[in-house]
Structure 1
Amino acid sequence: MTEAPPTTEGGEAGSPPEGRGGPYLLLDLLVFPLVIVAVGVGVFVLFGLITTEGKGPRDYLDLIRTGDSNRRWQAAYELSKVIQESNDPELSDPRLVGRMVSLFEEAEGDDPRVRRFLALALGRLGNAQAVPALLEYLRGVRRGEGTDSETHIYAVWALGAIREDAAIPELVVLTTHEDPGLRKTAVHALGAFRSEEATAALERALGDPTQDVRWNAAAALARHGHPAAVPVLEQMLDREQLARSEAVTPDQTEEILLQAIAGAALLSDARLKARLTELGNDDPSLRVRAAARRSLEQRGRRE
């Protein structure tokens, strides 16, 4: 089972993201897609809780199939939480996974949140049985079917969370999609794979016109120890340059710096070392200074 971005929650390929630096900035290195974080925190505050006490995965699947519109999407969301938080052996039952996949496929025309949270649930479950349905859904997106961009993001994220190699070709294709949100998420998802095809796509994404895509690609490549990440990481470690971007808030700047520092710690490069030294000595954020110093210590032990 898995769980990024989509703030920095736990260690899956992420769980889809929400809007940093644009609608879907997914800094890899396990940043939880913010789309999910924001929705997850506010969803029941806005619309009210369904009764959850004593319910298990099959109960939520029944609600998704038979409940009214509002209850269906809430049940799908609760199902994703149960999967994230439970080690119930029932979750490995192929019949249960098959029901989830069928509900995902049948959700066309329903409230888009139903399919969206089912994609999240499937990604968190991490079962390869879901991959064909997710791939077919995304092929439909490329054909112009479906208009809910957030659901597209969740489906792409789910493929990265499941980490089945069969998803790589479709994710590679999506790194060149016209929608920057899909490109960002596809690059993020490809960071979960270590194939030559995935690495080549990540290297190409370093030249993407959208900075968020470049940042995700650099973070993913750094996690794999790939030196191609260095030039973009160097830019991410430049607070002044980040401050000049109207799309990045001060809080986001700090998070970007922290993620870039984490990536720089994995690469031996004099340019990155110089940036880390500067941040460790002079950055106004205590968190950034401390992270930069830790990164330098880690590099020192390795060198």
Structure 2
Amino acid sequence: MHWMHLFVADLLIVILSFAISNASGADVTGSDEGTTSIKPVVRHYGCLIRTISGSYVGPCQAQTTTTYPIVERQRTTNPVLTALLWLLYARQVRNSRISGWGGWSPQGSCSATCREDGGLQRYTRQCGSGSGCVGNDERYGWCTGEAECPFSVEGYCLDQDGLVYSGICYTIPSVSQGAVTYNDAVALCEETGALLADVHDRNHQAVLKTFALTKKPFTRSYIYLFVGTAYIPSTSKLVYRSGMEKDRTVLDWTQSYPVTPSSATYLALHEDEDPTLQTGMFNIPITETVDGAICERGP
């Protein structure tokens, strides 16, 4: 029924605007034929009186001199146009009254529990003119939580296209054939919140080998990647980030490696699709470049 009330209000406005335009915009007189005609309103402001000594404006009255009425002709108002303008104005006033909503205010808390998760927040608003407001008084908007999200190895690995092994996510962030220095490899891992990966034993090495071959360049059969474990030639020991040391024999090495130069302390994994070719660990100096890095991130 609300729409019917609005329709009746608009109709009354149109009728009223017609009446106003006819009453104020023109004179209505009857003709001999019984029809009605609209004549412009003529307003006299005075007469231009010309004399021998000059001209001046004065009252229009009988004089010996020639007078010229000074008039202003008021334009006849178009009743249809007037009605439309009244209608538009009335609708604007009415809508401003109907849409008397206050601002949206959040209610309760976001459904998400941490920053990385998205959730919904409920918002409400109050009608300033009672029950005449049009629209909803409630809506839901997108929001994020306030607390730091607990780290999920599985979720992180899924985002990074990595591999989960023994509760650790291993990733290979990018591959650039023969153009990655050791410092570049460290930076590649840090960009994703990870570290260069340690390689703990042959089983672990075999898992990383299979994963690395899925990331090799299409143009060749092998891939060459820095890892985080160091090698000390003088002691033949592997050194891990934790400071723990292991004998070099816990890993598989490429033929003729490890080498003995004291500078060859950086470890890289070299794997080829053809197992008869060079596969295994290399110890190399910091000046050598490889294809990328194996990174790790735990809980």
For normalisation by structure 2, the TM-score amounts to: 0.19
Bigger strand share = 2
Larger radius of gyration: 2
Bigger helix share = 1
